[in-house]
Amino acid sequence: MNSNIYTDSKAKNKFFYIGIFLLFLSIADVFINSFLKFNITFFLPRFISISLPLIIGFTGLYFIRFATRIKYFDFVNKNINTSNFNAFLTLLIIFTIIKIIPPLLNWFIFDATISGDSREACTGSGACWTYIKVWLNRIIYGMYPDEEIWRINLSFIILLILAFVGLIPNKNLKKFLTGYYVIVYPIVAYLLIYYLISGGSFNLVWVETGAWGGLSLNFIVSFFSLIFCFPLGVILALGRRSKLPIIKYLSIGFIEFWRGVPLITVLFMASAMFTLFLPEGMFLDALVRIIIAISLFEAAYVAEVVRGGLQALPRGQYDAAKSLGMGYWKMYIFVILPQALKIVIPGIANTFLALVKDTPLILVVGLLEIVGMLNMAKTNPGWLGFAIEGYVFAAIIFWIICYAMSKYSYNLELKYKTER
């Protein structure tokens, strides 16, 4: 019996090594074909030459799945080689990645052009990053005067430093953090935007909001919309769960109205019709109107997310707070809302990400944020034909922003995770 077990184990080892060899051979064939532009099976008919690596790799994975008992390959088998279908998909994905990577790397890096300051420098077959380099100031700052760009940079640096006050390890300071972030920080941000970026005071040149643009405008709109929509959304969520009929139905009507209207319609309304509802002689800047419109729109979605967290709390939490003699506001501020917001951190982060990605829509009302500036750049007679590089650059910027926000929300979720 021991002899049979030994023979069986030895046979399985042979299958395992054969499988490894076949898998390596199939991947090497595709790799050499993609990177070195040499087809090992050139003497075979085209259809067989294309499908042969897939057949060989599939056979190799089958042998590995049949034979291996090695710890690391067991992990592979459990995740990407559990069946013939999964083995086929695994190979298809690996081969597709190998096929796609070389042309992408060539276009992005190896054949790309970054030197020079005109389109004549872009003579290669790769991306023309010279286009981005020449237009970088406009893409980031819009039509803001070049000699005044330091004001935007200084404002963002100050806001970034002030945002990290909560990381100071001081127990006495932590008691005031909520008030700081809800009241003080937005006021400071507004003053910086109004006096430093707009100018007109302290011997600073006045710059109209029509000259603002690029990525900095995306940041400004996103920042203030987030500040305003979150507390408004929380209040609407509480109003929707209120037992007072007037407050409840007003909150429901507000939420459903804004959820039922497309954002692009809201932006047009804010741009064209908002001034009709203002008292005679009163004027609001277009940028302010757009921020108000986006804040009201996103507040409805924040409200529904927060309401989900409130409904997820067990009834015992409300009863426990009431048994301690807490009134309505104390109960919600100190007991209910902290727990509800912990539960819905992923949902809130998702809403904020959607808000950031919605900011390019302000282009339709004449505010030239990053996409608007790219559209203007691609129509410049000196840079026709380089629109792809601009949109790829914008996509990378938005991906970095969204990924950073996602990671931050995930860390918050882990930090405030509550065992239930």
* Per-residue pLDDT at 197 exceeds 60: yes
Query: Residue 166: inside a domain, yes or no?
Result: no
User: Which residues are 128's β-sheet partners?
Assistant: 113
Structural domain includes residue 155: no
168 found inside a domain: no
Q: How many CB atoms lie within 10 A of CB 111?
A: 13
**Nearest one of 226, 262, 256 to 239, comparing CA atoms:** 256
pLDDT at 7 over 50: no
The CA-atom distances, in angstroms, between 190 and each of 184, 300, 382, 411 are: 10, 23, 38, 28
pLDDT on residue 68: 56
How confident is the model at residue 69, as a pLDDT? 56
Co-location of 266 and 300 in the same domain: yes
Does 387 lie in the same domain as 250?
yes
> Is the pLDDT at 5 greater than 90, yes or no?
no
Question: For 14-30, what is each residue's pLDDT tens digit?
Answer: 777 788 888 888 888 88
What pLDDT shows up at residue 119?
82
d(CA 41, CA 25): 12
Maximum mean pLDDT: which of 256-260, 275-279, 319-323:
256-260
Is residue 300 included in any domain, yes or no? yes
In a domain, 65, yes or no: yes
Same domain (yes/no): 135, 10: no
pLDDT tens sequence across 117-145 = 888 888 878 888 999 999 999 999 999 99
DSSP state of 250: H
Domain match, 27 and 75 both: yes
71 and 140 in a single domain? The answer is: no
Q: What is the pLDDT of residue 169?
A: 67
Q: Assess whether pLDDT exceeds 60 at residue 259.
A: yes
Per the listing, tokens 């890096």 go with 109
Note the pLDDT tens digit of each residue in 344-367.
988 999 999 999 999 998 888 888
Domain residue limits at 6: 2-110
Mean pLDDT check: name the lowest of 66-70, 91-95, 101-105, 156-160. Answer: 66-70
**Burial class of 336 by CB neighbour count within 10 A (0 to 12, 13 to 18, 19+):** buried
64-96 burial, b at 16+ Cβ within 10 Å, e below that, comes to: bbebbeeeebeebbeeebeeeeebeebbeebbe
Percent of the chain exceeding pLDDT 90 equals 27
Rounded to whole angstroms, the Cα distance separating 88 from 140 reads 45
- How many other CB atoms sit within 10 Å of the CB of residue 340? 22
Identify the pLDDT of residue 6: 42
> Taking the mean position of all CA atoms in its chain, how far away is CA 125?
30
Looking at residue 11, its pLDDT comes to: 58
Q: For residue 288, is it within any domain?
A: yes
Query: Which one-letter DSSP state was computed for residue 143?
Result: T
**Chain mean pLDDT for the chain:** 84
pLDDT exceeds cutoff 50 at 3: no
- pLDDT at residue 144 in the model: 92
* % of the chain at pLDDT higher than 70: 92
User: Based on the structure, what is the number of domains in the chain?
Assistant: 2
Q: Are residues 52 and 136 in the same domain?
A: no
pLDDT of 101 strictly over 70: yes
pLDDT of residue 4: 46
Type and span of the H or E element at 28: helix 2-35
| pLDDT of amino acid 1 | 44
Burial class (CB in 10 A: 0-12, 13-18, 19+), 348: buried
Q: What is the pLDDT of residues 370-419, one digit of tens each?
A: 998 998 888 888 888 888 999 999 999 999 999 999 998 888 888 877 55
What is the Cα gyration radius of the chain?
A: 29
Token pair in block for residue 92: 């298809």
Residues 282-330 have pLDDT tens digits of 788 888 889 999 999 999 999 999 999 999 888 888 888 888 888 888 8
In a domain, 191, yes or no: no
- Output the pLDDT for position 219: 92
Q: Is 117 helix (H, G, I), strand (E, B) or coil?
A: coil
Contact between residue 130 and residue 89 where contact means Cβ atoms under 8 Å apart: no
Helix then strand count (H, E) for the chain reads: 19, 0
Contact between residue 306 and residue 283 where contact means Cβ atoms under 8 Å apart: no
